[in-house]
């Protein structure tokens, strides 16, 4: 029995709706909601392992929820992440907020960031000689080759990264 035989548009609509419902059933509601992943904590040893990793290039972005320039740079860094991630440049955000990860989690909920951001806390400020934030470390094969302090434009950072990954 053909219910929609004379109405091909209606038949097509129900096929699309059925496929959508099936997809929703299999991947679940949470996968359709664009909620940011929960920020994880990282201890000093883990941060040191990232920095001293002798395999490849990394960009570390030291940030805090209270830092206006840091928040303004997140969209720029996200664009750069999409531009250079497939070229082997690993992006990692490091929150140095004193009160724990909750403050930065609220910032990340408001701004789309596709690279990982971890909470380490303010104790790394002295250890890594952070003279201010935002601060970017470019790390090549386990060695910090450049520290870039302050707010930077997309064009400036893109140039730095292009020179860095040569």
Which residue, among 43, 60, 61, has the nearest Cα to 121 in the 3D structure? 43
pLDDT in tens, 41-96: 998 899 999 899 878 899 999 999 999 999 999 999 999 999 999 999 999 999 99
Residue 8 has pLDDT above 80, yes or no: no
Q: What is the pLDDT of residue 72?
A: 96
Fold of the domain built from segment(s) 40-164: Glutaredoxin (3.40.30)
Residue 118 to residue 148: CA distance in whole angstroms: 19
pTM of the model: 0.76
- 3-state SS of 81-118 is HHHHHHHCEEEEEEECCCCCCHHHHHHHHHCCCCCEEE
The rounded distance, in Å, linking the Cα atoms of 62 and 132 is 9
pLDDT-wise least confident of 6-20, 110-124, 145-159: 6-20
CB atoms within 10 A of CB 160: 17
């Amino acid at each position: 029995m053909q219910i929609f035989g004379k109405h091909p548009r209606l038949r097509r609509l129900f096929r699309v709706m059925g496929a959508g419902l099936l997809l929703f059933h299999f991947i679940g509601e949470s996968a359709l909601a664009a909620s940011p992943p929960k920020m994880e904590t990282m201890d000093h040893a883990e941060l040191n392992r990232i920095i001293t990793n002798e395999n490849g290039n990394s960009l570390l972005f030291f940030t805090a929820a209270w830092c206006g320039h840091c928040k303004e740079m997140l969209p720029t860094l996200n664009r750069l992440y999409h531009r250079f991630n497939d070229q082997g440049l690993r992006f990692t955000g490091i929150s140095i907020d004193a009160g724990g990860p909750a403050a930065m989690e609220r910032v990340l909920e408001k701004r789309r960031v596709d690279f990982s951001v971890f909470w380490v806390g303010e104790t790394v400020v002295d250890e890594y000689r952070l003279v201010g934030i935002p601060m970017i470390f470019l790390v090549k094969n386990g060695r910090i080759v450049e520290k870039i302090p302050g707010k930077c434009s997309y064009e400036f950072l893109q140039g730095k990264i292009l020179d860095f990954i040569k």
